[in-house]
Structure 1
């Protein structure tokens, strides 16, 4: 009974989260944008005008994605402009079939190639592709071309005005949604970390799950960063925005802290095997912090309901008492197990303090109590897209995945449209629509979307047949069409199969309002979808395929470069001390983003045919190695940022320099500046750490027996942590070039 209640509670919670999501709010906005022009058109006897304005609003809507309002409106207006230009060109494509097909291919290629400028550009590009496909549907056939194009522009402006109005009615909606999502993902990350502490037999699966959560968390960080920082730089600073920026900063630090602890599982396994109680306490602490972050997420708008977590305090005290007991039971007052546990506890204390700081910020402290983030420095954290002409020229080559995708799409749409005409398909443009929705630069994603689109269409067709057999009421059809459209658009990012189901229902019910032979519509809808899905999959498989192994070499290069720059910033700060620079934080951000890109690339590689998964085990090994390397960097970074440290020693700089040399060697291999089969000439690499630092932390007899002052303990902890992390980083940096030499990137 309790399990059933939990399932029901979870289902209601998921449903509640869905209704609060930006996907649902955008779907409602789109529903309003599409229905009002048609209703007004019907009332005024100008239905064709209403439909054309609706088409304009639909073509503008793909660019309405989360981010700053300025970027959003700019995207909507550019999508509208592109849709108008393409619709104008499309109106004059009633030419000979032999001329039409190559012109169609060229246009598809050119419009698709715009996506070379990034994610928002790809959505603008989709609006252009969608407009080209709709030009074959004769939506505004009875209207003069210039009028229909202008009305499409009116539709785009109408949607932009609605988006601005929606933003000012619900200004906090996107911020609260993505902040809540970040809190929940951070909570999930901590929970998986807790599971990893105890799990020994199935760690590889948990690590994969951890990487997946980290990818989503990093992407959400980017979206939230754009919303928060762009809004501040564009419209000044408010108390609300300032607090949210500071909460976001705490969450970024929490991810770094979570990655920093623990790193070397072999050591923690050995320690906790003898002290299982300590393991349980650390795990309970991580779970308690995860639960508290969920509670914060659920009470973002009602922070006064938040209660301080007693479980976190209890776990911290239990761990502290256990460490003191361990210290009193051992003759060696500075044994490495005791130092490691003490450092782990410090990390967890920092994590608990971050949660307390978030709660404090939410409970409306006075403005003078809040330290603000410099707006000029904050702009450095935004990922800027280069929009110059040089980008177009540089990517105009078969080495570019977007160029190959655009070329592939152009060829496949020519084949699809030609097949539709040849076999007298009722609506050949439906094949084109399926192609532009399904086809993606990578084979794995295209195959997945093809399968989901086909299954969703079949499910939608079956449901539509059932509803048509039950009723022929056109009012019910109209209501179901609107509801289906809203649900479809709200599910596109969450569940593509469900979205395809409701899109099919929408199309069927719209046609049911226009023509009596509804079963024929359903039949051709299914047929066109199967043809389009099949062509999309075959196109990605046979035409200039962009296998992930061909691009992962560059992804690895960017990741290792980012890690090296981050390490150099850490070394620089450790040597100079002082204020943490914006360059340091930007280097950290880029390192995390690069790691997310590498993890995503590996996941895409696993979706490709087995014949193209070259050196998959080695790629996985190097991906995990980079993730562990970043965790170790985070551990070192977190310690030196949050503790007073002694001057960096010559030994530290000597080993750090060797680590950087190793990373540069790995970069040179990836850039093919060093032959992959070359032999490492430096024979002292294996011994550099021991010869520099010694095999263990050295303390004189006098130091071991002297009173344990806090200052002395801090110095010993610093020596232990820095020594262990350097040793770990050196070992991993030595392994990278060796692994890269074994991977076949051709």
Structure 2
């Protein structure tokens, strides 16, 4: 709009400056509370005004320019220590700095140009706020839709794990990735629903969506829960394949129903009926009943296992039915609302203390090393552009700031995708430029390509890079007749920028994952320990489910996802930097199994009436906690930078694990099946948790200590 008005009023430079301001402030406009979006865009506007003002006076001697360019790049990138939104504000500042080399105004003074950039940012802020007011539900619906679909994918992957699988490790990796994505979207939607509710008071719409969100979180917890270990499940399903088929059919229907709900989220009449699920349950219950009637005493434990597995699926069915009811727009009563004082405990507030700058001003900080690395890469890129007298040397450093990330794996992937995307875009643009010679068509294609590029930047960076290249070339085709030269330099500059980014990431203060993986494992283990202690305490005390248990559950899922992401980054790094990767992968897998077992216990005790905790339960819980505390102590002393192992052999402390009396052959079939199911599940999980804690002790004892 500013450009169109600028052309119409013969003030094109003013329109272009306003356009740049809006463009540079747009990255911080991400999902979240409205006030956070507004503050983010406002800070972006202030930053780009300052940077544009400074950039206007950078037409100075190269001897002075290079250190100033490096210091500015470092300072802007260092803003990222204040979290995700701050990193987007930082990116806006870097864009403004780099593109200040591209724009030289003939009719505007530097201060005028900088102020117009700021006004453009405020113009974008106004539009963003207006759009939010016109459609306040948009971001909630978008995030909720993504969570529905990811949860459906998670259930579907979980379904494939039933029964013996040749590629179980691959499926487990898929589950870890999906769980990490879900945790990220849970955090975003949690902020939107809880913080907006606190600021706007009780809203029937927000409260219904919050309750739907809670059901989706509990569906994930129940899906993660595994009432038995896989070896026992494989053995059972091998002998009785009808159960494998029945359970897979049931879970597949859960997944399909979640996708159908996501597709028709505001059309409850189009939701799939519950009858399909009811029929699947009847078929499964009949098969289990036939199995129970068979006169094989040794199969009673398997019957209990099937009953517990069936109970978990029934809970999933109840949650899906409740989601359908909530999306049918019922009128909520006061008991349905959740108090704000409980909700705020689920939100982690960002620390904006200035002391954070000093704490991160060290080579132990990943952001510090990234900022320093980026500053050197930008100076080097600009130096190469000037030395070889390229047409647009700022394209090299623009490529550097777009590609370079704190993570080696992501930088390497983006470098490759950027090069491939640029080459494809250049090839397409070349063929179109030869066949079309109309500036209006160039303009239309340039705008269309830019819109497509931004819409794909998070989903497919390679395709996004292709359309960005098309957009840039079409816009230059309007301004310069020799467009083939533009294409040539665009490709060369991208290749140089990508090469510099990769080399800097590889050899300049690299932040290899093995340097931090110990902290990630410790954080995950501490979160799982806190979750286990909450479960154990609730099982002993009974009563209403404490909020602390749910908060600890959220933290355990978050830290487990963080650990998975950290390991995935490590797996993308050079083999020489993957110290102890097999042992670390086993630790990651054990922590996931530990969380799965905790989810089983948590789901069961929250949804069933349980008996009094025995002395054996308390003794085993204390032993597991003791093991976990020892693992944490060992992790503090481990030096992950060395690739050698400890020579000493780990000897576990003697512990006589109590026998599970509820699976003894002498058990009477006339006793309460409910109490048998409880004892079987609790004992199975306690033994599994104890075994996993012992495994972690043995694994961590293999590492060299500092």
Aligned with 1:108 (options 73, 77, 81):
73
- Aligned position for 1:414: 379
Aligned with 2:307 (options 325, 336, 342):
342
Aligned with 1:182 (options 147, 153, 164):
147
- Aligned position for 1:374: 339
Specify every segment of 5 or more residues in structure 2 that has no aligned partner in the other structure, as ranges. none
Counting only pairs closer than 5 Å after superposition, residues 529-548 of structure 1 correspond to structure 2 as 529-548=494-513
Q: Would the aligned equivalents of 1:334 and 1:704 in 2 still touch at CA under 8 Å?
A: no
Give the SS at the match of 2:336: coil
Q: Deviations over 1:590-636 (max 9, x none)?
A: 11011111111111112111111222221211111111110000000
Deviation at 1:473?
Answer: 0.5
Deviating more after overlay: 430-439 vs 67-76: 67-76
The two structures have a TM-score, normalised by structure 2, of: 0.96
Give the SS at the match of 1:347: helix
- Aligned position for 2:412: 447
- Aligned position for 2:443: 478
Report whether the alignment pairs 1:738 with 2:698: yes
Aligned length: 702
Deviation at 1:678?
Answer: 9.1
Q: Deviations over 1:362-382 (max 9, x none)?
A: 112122287111122112112
- Aligned position for 1:587: 552
Q: Would the aligned equivalents of 1:117 and 1:386 in 2 still touch at CA under 8 Å?
A: yes
Give the SS at the match of 2:637: coil
Q: Deviations over 1:223-247 (max 9, x none)?
A: 1111111211121221111110000
The two structures have a TM-score, normalised by structure 1, of: 0.91
Aligned with 1:125 (options 72, 78, 90):
90
Report whether the alignment pairs 1:645 with 2:610: yes
Report whether the alignment pairs 1:598 with 2:575: no
Question: Are the structure 2 counterparts of residues 216 and 206 from structure 1 closer, same or farther at C-alpha, using a change threshold of 3 Å?
Answer: same
Output the CA distance in 2 between the equivalents of 1:262 and 1:720. Answer: 9
Q: Would the aligned equivalents of 1:52 and 1:140 in 2 still touch at CA under 8 Å?
A: no
Question: Are the structure 2 counterparts of residues 554 and 222 from structure 1 closer, same or farther at C-alpha, using a change threshold of 3 Å?
Answer: same
Q: Would the aligned equivalents of 2:22 and 2:123 in 1 still touch at CA under 8 Å?
A: yes
Q: Would the aligned equivalents of 1:615 and 1:744 in 2 still touch at CA under 8 Å?
A: no
Deviation at 1:582?
Answer: 2.0
Aligned with 2:268 (options 298, 303, 307):
303
- Aligned position for 2:318: 353
- Aligned position for 1:165: 130
Report whether the alignment pairs 1:714 with 2:668: no
Counting only pairs closer than 5 Å after superposition, residues 180-219 of structure 1 correspond to structure 2 as 180-219=145-184
Give the SS at the match of 1:271: helix
Q: Would the aligned equivalents of 1:668 and 1:674 in 2 still touch at CA under 8 Å?
A: no
Specify every segment of 5 or more residues in structure 1 that has no aligned partner in the other structure, as ranges. 1-35
Question: Are the structure 2 counterparts of residues 116 and 745 from structure 1 closer, same or farther at C-alpha, using a change threshold of 3 Å?
Answer: farther
Counting only pairs closer than 5 Å after superposition, residues 432-511 of structure 1 correspond to structure 2 as 432-511=397-476
Q: Would the aligned equivalents of 1:130 and 1:433 in 2 still touch at CA under 8 Å?
A: yes
Deviation at 1:518?
Answer: 1.1
Output the CA distance in 2 between the equivalents of 1:650 and 1:392. Answer: 50
Q: Deviations over 1:87-118 (max 9, x none)?
A: 11212222210111111111111110110111
Give the SS at the match of 2:459: coil
Q: Deviations over 1:477-497 (max 9, x none)?
A: 111111111111111101111
Aligned with 1:704 (options 654, 658, 668):
668
Deviation at 1:743?
Answer: 4.8
Aligned with 1:135 (options 87, 94, 100):
100
Aligned with 1:362 (options 321, 327, 343):
327
Q: Would the aligned equivalents of 1:187 and 1:291 in 2 still touch at CA under 8 Å?
A: yes
Question: Are the structure 2 counterparts of residues 363 and 417 from structure 1 closer, same or farther at C-alpha, using a change threshold of 3 Å?
Answer: same
- Aligned position for 2:247: 282
Give the SS at the match of 1:335: helix
Aligned with 2:53 (options 79, 88, 107):
88
Output the CA distance in 2 between the equivalents of 1:714 and 1:680. Answer: 43
Deviation at 1:267?
Answer: 0.4
Output the CA distance in 2 between the equivalents of 1:207 and 1:163. Answer: 40
Question: Are the structure 2 counterparts of residues 485 and 308 from structure 1 closer, same or farther at C-alpha, using a change threshold of 3 Å?
Answer: same
Question: Are the structure 2 counterparts of residues 663 and 141 from structure 1 closer, same or farther at C-alpha, using a change threshold of 3 Å?
Answer: farther
